[in-house]
Structure 1
Amino acid sequence: MAYEIHIYRSDEISLEEWLSLCAQDQSIQLTNEISGTNPSTGQVITIADRNAAIWTSPESGQKWIFDYRRGEISFAHSDAALSKARDIAGVLGASLRGDEGEEY
C-alpha cells in the first residue's frame, strides 16, 4: 500500500471546487476510472472512480492520480506530485498532511 498525502482544510473541500479546479487546469484531466498493471502478473486492475483526476508532469510526462474523497484530495507520495499538490492547496486555501498526520 502506498503512503498517501492529503490536501485538506478545516472546512471540507467541496466536490464542486475540485471539479472547477480540474476544469481550469489543463494539466489535470478528470477520469471515470483508474487502471494499473500488476508488475508480477501483468493483470490490469481497473477501479471506477468518477472524482479522480490524472495530472501529467510537464517535466517528465509521468502521470499521477489525485483522488477526491470525503472532502479531501489524496495522492501517492512523490516529489513531483508533492509540488503539484502544493499548487492545488494554494488555489483551494488548503494544507498538506501525510497518513501519519505530519504537515508538509
Structure 2
Amino acid sequence: MAYGLHIEREDPIELVEWIATVTAHGERQLDEANSTAINPVTGAKIAVQGQDGTVAILVEGQWARVFHWNRGKISFKAPSSTSRDDPIMSAALLLASELAAFVSGDEGEIYDGSD
C-alpha cells in the first residue's frame, strides 16, 4: 500500500474553502469525473466513481489527479521525493500555505519541502 501524505490543520478544511483555493490558480483544477481502470491480473474493467474535491495538477504538461478531499483534510500519495523540487510536493506545500495548514505523513511527521 502506498504511503500517504495529508494537507491538514487543527480546524477542518471545508470543501467550499478547498474548492475556492484550488480554482484560484491555473495549474490546478477540480477533476471529479468518474474513471475506469483495468485490473492487471484479471483484465477486468473497474469503474471508479468520482469524488467531490478531487483535484488534478499539471505535472510535466499533463493533468494528473493527485489530491483527494475527505472529512476536512486533503490526502495524496507520497511522491518519490518530498523536496520542493518535486512538482507534487511543491503543489502540496503551496496549497498548505494558502490554507494555513501543513503537510504531514501517515505517521504524523511534518514535511516542509527541505528533504
TM-score interval, smaller chain: 0.7 to 0.9
Aligned residues: 103
Question: Structure 2: which 5+ runs fail to align?
Answer: 82-86
Deviation above 6 Å: which 4+ runs of structure 1? none
Aligned to 2:78: 77
2:26 aligned partner, one-letter code = Q
CA distance in 2, matches of 1:96, 1:28: 18
Question: TM-score when scaled to structure 1?
Answer: 0.83
Which has the larger helix fraction? 1
The alignment-based identity, stated in percent, is 31
Question: Structure 1: which 5+ runs fail to align?
Answer: none
Deviation per CA, 1:7-46: give whole Å up to 9, x if none. Answer: 0001111111101012211111112235353461363432
Give the number of the structure whose alpha-carbon radius of gyration is greater. 2
Superposition deviation, residue 67 in structure 1: 0.6
Which has the larger strand fraction? 1
Superposition deviation, residue 92 in structure 1: 0.7
Question: TM-score when scaled to structure 2?
Answer: 0.76
Q: Find out whether 1:6 has 2:6 as its counterpart.
A: yes
Q: Is the 8 A contact 1:6 1:73 kept in 2?
A: yes
CA distance in 1, matches of 2:65, 2:3: 14
Superposition deviation, residue 72 in structure 1: 0.5
Aligned to 1:53: 55
The 1:90–1:34 alpha-carbon spacing in structure 2 relative to 1, beyond 3 Å, is: farther
2:68 aligned partner, one-letter code = D
Q: Find out whether 1:90 has 2:97 as its counterpart.
A: yes
